[in-house]
Amino acid sequence: MNAIDQVNLSSDGPNLSRIVAGTMTWGEWGIDYSASEIADMIGHCLDLGITSFDHADIYGHYSTEASFGHALNKLGTSVRAQMELITKCGIRLETNRRPENRLKSYDLSRDYIIASAEQSLKNLQTDYLDLFLLHRPSPLMNPAEIAEAFTHLEQSGKVRSFGVSNFTPSQFGLLSQAVTLVTNQVECHPLHPDCFYDGTFDQLLAANIRPMVWSPLGGAKYFKGESTTVLRLRDTVKTLAEKYGNVGEDVILLAWLLKHPVGAIPVVGTTKKERLTGTRLALDLELETQDWFAILEAAVGHEVA
Amino acid sequence: MNAIDQVNLSSDGPNLSRIVAGTMTWGEWGIDYSASEIADMIGHCLDLGITSFDHADIYGHYSTEASFGHALNKLGTSVRAQMELITKCGIRLETNRRPENRLKSYDLSRDYIIASAEQSLKNLQTDYLDLFLLHRPSPLMNPAEIAEAFTHLEQSGKVRSFGVSNFTPSQFGLLSQAVTLVTNQVECHPLHPDCFYDGTFDQLLAANIRPMVWSPLGGAKYFKGESTTVLRLRDTVKTLAEKYGNVGEDVILLAWLLKHPVGAIPVVGTTKKERLTGTRLALDLELETQDWFAILEAAVGHEVA
Amino acid sequence: MNAIDQVNLSSDGPNLSRIVAGTMTWGEWGIDYSASEIADMIGHCLDLGITSFDHADIYGHYSTEASFGHALNKLGTSVRAQMELITKCGIRLETNRRPENRLKSYDLSRDYIIASAEQSLKNLQTDYLDLFLLHRPSPLMNPAEIAEAFTHLEQSGKVRSFGVSNFTPSQFGLLSQAVTLVTNQVECHPLHPDCFYDGTFDQLLAANIRPMVWSPLGGAKYFKGESTTVLRLRDTVKTLAEKYGNVGEDVILLAWLLKHPVGAIPVVGTTKKERLTGTRLALDLELETQDWFAILEAAVGHEVA
């Protein structure tokens, strides 16, 4: 089986691997890997062709970037050039690591964005970010101020591309007037198909920009849900998993997302090596259109046509 | 009384009659006319100036187009040149006439669209469609692929104009980047005034494109509804029907729709000849603005200003 | 303390004072001032630098403009040149002052708009309006017809700028194709933050157009509400009022609105002189971002990040 390819997020770049590894559960918010375990996971990803790693400053209550940075340092500098590092800023969490944060809130001011990028570079022990995302839209965001921050970070060589996450089409359109955005990272899976209907994917398809998709498998909603809806959906997915060669449910769910013409880049956030390995099966698996709708129908609980 | 005029759907054409005859209830899904009865209805429409006929592949579980085609064949080829034929594709229905359809779903792939148009031509016993619509938006639709299908159908002379049905403004905007759309056929009547508020009519008015409107009279929701809302609405409509010269309720409902500046083309789906005849009254009837709002207020059940 | 400044609503003008006085409660719908009391209020506003006065034809059941006009007449013509007069049209109210109005409805026809502007000029005893707004969107509005009315009013020198009120982004976009709009006057306060999320402020920020904001303090919803939400919000606002130098709650609420980068112009509708005076404090008060979010969180009742 071949290594996973790279693709362009947009005509303004960057290249990412067709599957991105999400690190949210690698640290304190999940399995809490040691530096050598992270190094091992990085190696596994690179072997598969998964060269892009998705972070956020807040993961592990502001600790997971640094854990990843230690691992990177262990692996040596040549590894950095083989990978793309993505991180996000803008959410302030209440935590004793940030006593100045009085409530969960946003900050997308010029200085906060710049300081956050610089802190992420330090944490990750690297000189540049391949892609830097605004984690969530703030009702107070000022496109002109964000443009200043992005320009500063780009011109100083600290960040190569910029994007957003969880933006509405209106917010994405507004900010696109002021800066070049290469992606909108959003949630999408059969139990949350909103971006098919609310204009999010329409806008990106029209602009030839690929979304990144977080929780492409539905996460706990899918794997731990016990509602009638989830049980019905899992039943359908399992039946199709058998039909398509006894693959895993995760392979079917990923193939479901990949079938959409918007060309989404799944951010697979897992600590299971076999799940990362399995993504290659999904990339080669073309679901029949009627099977795609069977999954959607099971997830929404009524006819979808 | 004069014959009903023709108008342009958009600056890219086509001309349709100001009132379009809807055929959904002419076949198996309704009165199930014989070929000679359909021929008689066609004659009645043409006498009135209603030259445009609206179909969909699925009507009568994929049988009504063919019934119409038989009638057309009986009437002889000269009649075809006097009319505009419209049909739709993209919904797969479960029916033993299509055993390959495993669930109700959409297919807007290149090959499906082309094959569907070609089947409709065969059913209707004609060489070309004046207007071909995508029946509903599919979450999987790919503008580039749809453009290929439309280009093929246009260049081969099989279809003269293209449009959509039941598309949101975002979906219409997306597809308009790739192909020329001359209409969006949507539901609109006092009990379903959504397109006034959700941007659908705003978009079409801005682009100088007329919507076609299905169920312009509210269909069974209006004529068979027994809720307080419907009874109140019918009361208001009846009072106005008296005021405007003892016309039918259908005339008032149609005049209500025609008052909107978007210039909607009603698709009147009826097997009642007198209802088709009555549409001429509606075209000449200008409702006072306050009467228009009285109908809307009755339908929504509260002040609308 | 300095006088309140003037700012541009848009690149097409006009200049308004940074705070606008709303007159809705000055007449029959509120305190019902005599002409000399209104003259006194006008003088107080002008002293503060509040030179812009917001009306609507319907205030006081079509009577408040005329009361204001009498006061203006008392003050003498030189005062008119020191102020900007804004009014609105398009709502028909049932009242025995307008027996022709059979139900609450809209009228945005060419002739109605022109006649309404002319009546407002007569009521206000002035030759021109600085800004004329369509009070609410009508589902029947026709951009071409509105453009005719606006052109007529502009060319005859009766109105200098045009705008709208309570329009959705889609409606604003549609009408902007046909006429130059300099504002959209909308409701915005912590208990009604919709315009942050529904695209209204996104659109205006992108077009460099300032919204005017009615009910910037939340009106009775805030000051007379007794729900848990309102009590929690008032608690938060009071705490911050102490923190920022024992100012009034109204000052905090206004500072909250003014922090948004869209540059909203609050229409402060009050009969309390001290509230108008206090607006100067709000203009100088920069809320910390986390305090801004504390107010939003209290108002919506859950974390907002």
Give me the active site residues of A, please. 59
Beta-bridged to residue A254, according to DSSP, are none
Beta-bridged to residue A8, according to DSSP, are A15
pLDDT, average across residues C260-283? 95
Indicate if the alpha-carbon torsion angle C210, C215, C217, C218 is positive or negative: negative
Radius of gyration of chain B from its Cα atoms, rounded to whole angstroms: 19
Q: Which of B19, B36, B28, B85 has the alpha carbon at shortest distance from B62?
A: B28
Q: Are B133 and B101 in contact (CB under 8 A)?
A: no
Q: What is the DSSP string of B186-243?
A: EE-BTTB-HHHHSSHHHHHHHTT-PPEEESTT-HHHHHT--SHHHHHHHHHHHHHHHH
| Percent of chain C topping pLDDT 70 | 100
How far is Cα C299 from Cα B151, in angstroms, rounded to an integer? Answer: 54
Question: Which of A103, A107, A171 shows the shortest C-beta gap to C202?
Answer: A171
Instruction: Kindly provide the ipTM of the predicted complex, given to two decimals.
Output: 0.96
Question: Which of A91, A140, A177 shows the shortest C-beta gap to C289?
Answer: A140
Please list the alpha-helical segments (H only) found in chain C. 35-48, 59-62, 64-75, 77-80, 110-124, 143-155, 169-176, 194-197, 200-207, 219-223, 228-243, 249-258, 273-284, 289-300
A289 to chain B: which residues are within 8 Å by CB? 105-107, 109, 140
Q: Which of A150, A118, A121, A119 has the alpha carbon at shortest distance from A134?
A: A150
Give residue C44's pLDDT: 97
C294 vs A140: CB contact, 8 Å cut-off? Answer: no
Work out the minimum CA distance from A295 to partner chain C, whole angstroms: 31
pLDDT in tens, A106-155: 999 999 999 999 999 999 999 999 999 999 999 999 999 999 999 999 99
Residue A6 CA neighbour count, 13 Å, CB half: 13
The yes-or-no verdict on residue B2 having pLDDT over 90 is no
Q: Which of C205, C210, C240, C262 to mutate to test the interface with A (most CBs of A within 10 A)?
A: C205
C170 to chain B: which residues are within 8 Å by CB? 169, 198-199, 202-203
A206 vs B173: CB contact, 8 Å cut-off? Answer: yes
pLDDT, average across residues C134-155? 98
Residues of B with CB under 8 A from a CB of A: 91-92, 101-107, 109, 136, 138-145, 168, 170-171, 173-174, 177
Contacts of A52 (CB under 8 A, 6+ apart): A16, A17, A20, A21, A83, A84, A85, A86, A130, A265
Give residue C77's pLDDT: 82
pLDDT, average across residues B161-175? 98
Domain ranges (residues) in chain B: 6-182
The yes-or-no verdict on residue B77 having pLDDT over 90 is no
Q: Are A101 and A93 in contact (CB under 8 A)?
A: yes
Question: Which of B103, B140, B171 shows the shortest C-beta gap to A294?
Answer: B103
pLDDT, average across residues A65-84? 95
Q: Cα–Cα distances in Å, from A233 out to A197, A218, A227, A268, B107?
A: 20, 11, 10, 20, 21
Q: Cα–Cα distances in Å, from A149 out to A88, A116, A169, B210, C16?
A: 14, 11, 22, 45, 31
Q: Cα–Cα distances in Å, from A272 out to A25, A45, A85, C12, C103?
A: 10, 11, 20, 59, 66
How far is Cα C181 from Cα B77, in angstroms, rounded to an integer? Answer: 54
pLDDT, average across residues A281-296? 97
Give residue C193's pLDDT: 97
How far is Cα B91 from Cα B81, in angstroms, rounded to an integer? Answer: 28
The yes-or-no verdict on residue B1 having pLDDT over 70 is no
In degrees rounded to 5, what are phi and psi of residue C192? -145, 70
Q: Are C273 and C33 in contact (CB under 8 A)?
A: no
Catalytic residue among B33, B59, B62, B222: B59
pLDDT, average across residues A176-188? 98
Q: Are A175 and A143 in contact (CB under 8 A)?
A: yes
Residue C82 CA neighbour count, 13 Å, CB half: 15
Work out the minimum CA distance from A288 to partner chain B, whole angstroms: 11
Q: Are B107 and B119 in contact (CB under 8 A)?
A: no
Both tokens assigned to B91: 């919904």
Query: Higher-confidence residue: C297 or A77?
Result: C297
CA angle B65, B70, B76 (to 5 degrees): 120
C171 to chain B: which residues are within 8 Å by CB? 202
Q: Which of B225, B180, B171, B221 has the alpha carbon at shortest distance from B200?
A: B171
Give residue A231's pLDDT: 96
Q: How distant is the alpha carbon of residue A166 from its chain centre?
A: 11
Please list the alpha-helical segments (H only) found in C125-224. 143-155, 169-176, 194-197, 200-207, 219-223
Q: Are C6 and C179 in contact (CB under 8 A)?
A: no
Contacts 24+ apart (CB under 8 A), A258-261: A258/A282, A258/A283, A259/A286, A259/A287, A259/A289, A259/A292, A259/B140, A260/A196, A260/A201, A260/B139, A260/B140, A261/A205, A261/B140, A261/B141, A261/B142, A261/B143, A261/B144, A261/B145
Q: Cα–Cα distances in Å, from A283 out to A85, A272, A280?
A: 22, 18, 5
pLDDT, average across residues C79-89? 97
How far is Cα B223 from Cα B200, in angstroms, rounded to an integer? Answer: 25
Q: Are B50 and B95 in contact (CB under 8 A)?
A: no
pLDDT band at B53 (very low <50, low <70, confident <90, very high): very high
pLDDT in tens, B99-124: 999 999 999 999 999 999 999 999 99
The yes-or-no verdict on residue C43 having pLDDT over 90 is yes
Q: Are A44 and A280 in contact (CB under 8 A)?
A: no
Q: Are C27 and C59 in contact (CB under 8 A)?
A: yes
Q: Are A45 and A56 in contact (CB under 8 A)?
A: no
Q: What is the DSSP string of B200-211?
A: HHHHHHHTT-PP
Q: Angle formed by the axes of helices A64-75 and A110-124, to 10°?
A: 40
How far is Cα C248 from Cα B215, in angstroms, rounded to an integer? Answer: 56
Work out the minimum CA distance from A172 to partner chain B, whole angstroms: 14
Region A6-182: CATH code: 3.20.20.100
In degrees rounded to 5, what are phi and psi of residue A183? -165, 165
Give residue C1's pLDDT: 67
Q: Are A123 and A69 in contact (CB under 8 A)?
A: yes
Contacts of A208 (CB under 8 A, 6+ apart): A10, A11
The residue count for chain C: 305
Q: What is the DSSP string of A22-73?
A: E-TTTSTTTT---HHHHHHHHHHHHHHT--EEE--TTHHHHTHHHHHHHHHH
The yes-or-no verdict on residue A28 having pLDDT over 90 is yes
Both tokens assigned to A293: 């709708």
Contacts of C143 (CB under 8 A, 6+ apart): B205, B206, B261, C174, C175, C177, C178, C179
Both tokens assigned to A278: 């399995």
Q: What is the chain A residue with the closest CA to B142?
A: A261
The yes-or-no verdict on residue C110 having pLDDT over 70 is yes
A103 vs C297: CB contact, 8 Å cut-off? Answer: yes
Kindly report whether the peptide bond that precedes residue B14 is cis, defined as omega within 30 degrees of 0: yes
Q: What is the chain A residue with the closest CA to C204?
A: A174
- Other Cβ atoms closer than 10 A to B225: 16
Give residue C2's pLDDT: 78
Instruction: Compute the mean pLDDT over every residue in chain C, rounded to the nearest whole number.
Output: 97
Q: Which helix (H) or strand (E) holds B16?
A: strand B15-17
Question: Which of A196, A203, A303 shows the shortest C-beta gap to B139?
Answer: A196
Question: What is the residue whose two structure tokens read 């502009």?
Answer: C154
In three-state secondary structure terms, B143 is helix
In three-state secondary structure terms, B137 is coil
